[in-house]
Amino acid sequence: MRSVRTIDEWPVHNASTAVVSAAGEMLGAHGDQARVYRLASVTKLLTAYATLVAVEEGAVGLDDAAGPDGATVRHLLAHASGLDFSDPSARRSTPGRRRIYSNAGFEVLGETVAARSGIPFAAYVREALLEPLGMDATSFTGSPAAGASSTVADLVRFASEVQRPQLLHGSTVTAATSVVFPGLDGVLPGFGRQRSNDWGLGFEIRDHKDPHWTGATSSPRTFGHFGQAGAFLWVDPDAQVACVTLTDRSFGPWAAESWPVYTDAVLAELRG
């Protein structure tokens, strides 16, 4: 794919990318696939997936109480618990009323899974997700919201799993990548207030958000996450393709401008 080489034009020191089909075929790659980058909030995808494994294993339930009064594991995954962005003691809304993007909520989520399973959360993520997928270069330390580091090669394994689930039932992944608590307004970090700010169970849903970090030609069903470390992972189920891109420059106007153009170029090339 010629389009993957356009990341060389970005104002970053290092960038790596790969495009993988729903069938697991590597369609294009550029940059060092083994270079380790910080994931920042792309970490939330790993946290969410491991939590869903815990749900299927019966260690925790989506409707189990977790976080502030009235909130559940489902609310925490969908950023609908009402918790503040960073302060787990601060409640800014009734659960289920607003989409308040919350690192604190994901930290409470990790604590909840650890308490119910009896396994430290980082160890649970490794045993439930990283080891089965062979994500040996991925380091899951620090916050369940933003503490992981990984490589494009490892995240391609994860993107392939999401497109063709082996660790979870397909119905679980479908539910996780569909809108949960529809119609909730909220702020998409870096892109302002969205009506509605749709989210699944840990996966952000593109829907008709504008502006957005994916492309203008991305399908509304596109899901994934981006991180302030300059990383993103999206899956477009209509195009049957996923893209992983990691950089060593923090998110900013350069990314908000470059990422949608890159995504549209990838999709245009695939569509011929």
pLDDT tens by residue, 81-137: 999 999 999 999 999 999 999 999 999 999 999 999 999 999 999 999 999 999 999
The answer for residues whose C-beta is within 8 angstroms of residue 170's C-beta and 6 or more apart is none
Whether residue 167 contacts residue 174, with contact meaning beta carbons closer than 8 Å, is answered with no
* Tokens found for residue 53: 């494994």
Model-level pTM greater than 0.95?
A: yes
Nearest-Å Rg of the Cα atoms of the chain is 17
- Give the fold, CATH level 3, of 3-271: Beta-lactamase (3.40.710)
Sole residue written with tokens 């409707």: 63
Question: Cα(247)–Cα(258) distance, rounded to whole angstroms?
Answer: 12
Residue 170 phi/psi, 5-degree rounding, is -60, -35
* Tokens found for residue 96: 């289920």
Question: Cα(146)–Cα(159) distance, rounded to whole angstroms?
Answer: 18
The answer for residues whose C-beta is within 8 angstroms of residue 189's C-beta and 6 or more apart is 41, 101, 228
Sole residue written with tokens 């990790």: 110
Q: What are the sequence ranges of the domains in the chain?
A: 3-271
In this predicted structure, what is the pLDDT of residue 49?
98
Beta-ladder partners of 72: 65
Question: Cα(2)–Cα(67) distance, rounded to whole angstroms?
Answer: 46
Report residues of the chain scoring pLDDT below 70: none
Please tell me whether residue 88 adopts helix, strand or coil conformation: coil
E strand residue ranges, 66-113: none
Q: How far is it between the farthest Cα atoms of the chain? A: 52
In this predicted structure, what is the pLDDT of residue 117?
97
Question: Cα(93)–Cα(85) distance, rounded to whole angstroms?
Answer: 12
Whether residue 266 contacts residue 47, with contact meaning beta carbons closer than 8 Å, is answered with no
* Tokens found for residue 29: 């790659």
Please tell me whether residue 4 adopts helix, strand or coil conformation: helix
In this predicted structure, what is the pLDDT of residue 109?
98
Question: b/e for 176-185, b at 16 or more Cβ within 10 A?
Answer: bbebbbeebe
